[in-house]
Structure 1
């Protein structure tokens, strides 16, 4: 019960996933996967297979290399930066990206084994974050904590948005930096936070 409370997911939902006795809703699946820093498909088990009792997916640190760099998992999920586009979720790992540890410590500022990298799609966050940029996400951040840029699940779409609190209504403003996309005011329970954007790398072509 303690685990389900921390994830804000019903006990029955966790049991159905563990024992392959039902199909959870997408929002629950993504929320659980975000909590354990997994891809949602990894929670789907085959033919009644049960996870070992000592299985602890949260203890899977990003491997560190010895030449002053750290290795960060890179996912093929492309969180849409346009509100309402096609639903996607974190899926298979494309590989890893090695960055200088000094840069990571300065710009990411969290436990580095919680950092994931995803590629941004769409122009919703332009000109701040552009399509094709590589965003570094704190996968341990699963609740709205303070104003900033987050990867969220909203209306069954995974997207990158700027969130800010509305203290009068206790709701959250969901904004794009691109003025072509209208802001929305939504209740906190309408959003699933998958991580907070810590930094990004802009890829330029000549």
Structure 2
């Protein structure tokens, strides 16, 4: 499968999808899908969306590197091929938000990649999301299973750097970075792992609250499909 068109055609056959079905899910014409399969499209703009619909690794889809279904949620190596200034651009940050016991000295500053989305496709897949407020990171570990799996993408709203009600937050505490569910119980913050058979809840007391810095609140996570976080 040396060409993009061959990889798309192969992935469609694995998912038993016709050109018409794929076109409808992507909101494009059947002719546009045919052009992709026949390698007539010079600068395809919706490879990320195609990878999500077909459930394949977007890096493999774009370049042929790696395995089709291995690491299909890790798109930090994906590079958009369209330079249209009208596209929506999201930053992928150099960070490993730990869903286990925490990542030491985590940082949400360095941008390592940028993903570009066609606006119509972005708002179709991410309704209600303000692009300017969103940064993308990968999650590591199993403490938030089954809500998150290791390698899932987290779409983090960095405009929320305070406790905004119960939800899943990216935060630093005691120089350690976490992705955890946070609840307020009385004056304490209760830090909860969804994999509670292994990871037990713990508390941040009022006198420790100044050591807790919230980087953002998780709005969406992506594995083989999009999942909105409540």
Q: Normalising by structure 2, what TM-score?
A: 0.54
What is the CA deviation profile of residues 41-86 of structure 1, one whole-angstrom value per residue up to 9, with x for unaligned ones? xxxxxxxxxxxxxxxxxxxxxxx97598522100120111113443
* Alignment equivalent of 1:194, drawn from 215, 220, 224: 215
In the other structure, the counterpart of 2:193 is 176
Is 1:88 aligned to residue 88 of structure 2? no
Which of 1 and 2 has higher RCO (CA within 8 Å, sep 6+)? 1
User: What residue in structure 2 maps to residue 162 of structure 1?
Assistant: 181
Which of 73, 78, 89 pairs up with 2:96?
78
**Which string of whole-angstrom CA distances, capped at 9 and with x for unpartnered residues, describes residues 4-45 of structure 1?**
xxxxxxxxxxxxxxxxxxxxxxxxxxxxxxxxxxxxxxxxxx
Could you tell me how far apart the structure 2 residues matched to 1:108 and 1:142 are? 21
Number of matched pairs? 139
Query: Which of 107, 114, 132 is 2:133 aligned to?
Result: 114
Distance (whole Å) between structure 2 residues aligned to residue 72 and residue 132 of structure 1: 18
Paired with 2:85 and 2:221, the residues of 1 have a C-alpha distance of: 22
Larger radius of gyration: 2
The CA deviation at 1:163 is 0.6
> Is this contact kept in 1: 2:96–2:103, CA < 8 A?
no
Secondary structure at the residue paired with 1:74? strand
Q: Would you say 1:97 and 2:115 are equivalent positions?
A: yes
5+ residue gaps in structure 2? 1-81, 226-230
SS in 2 for 1:76: strand
- Cα deviation for residue 88 of structure 1 reads 1.8
Q: Does 1:151 align with 2:170?
A: yes
| Number of the residue aligned with 1:16 | none
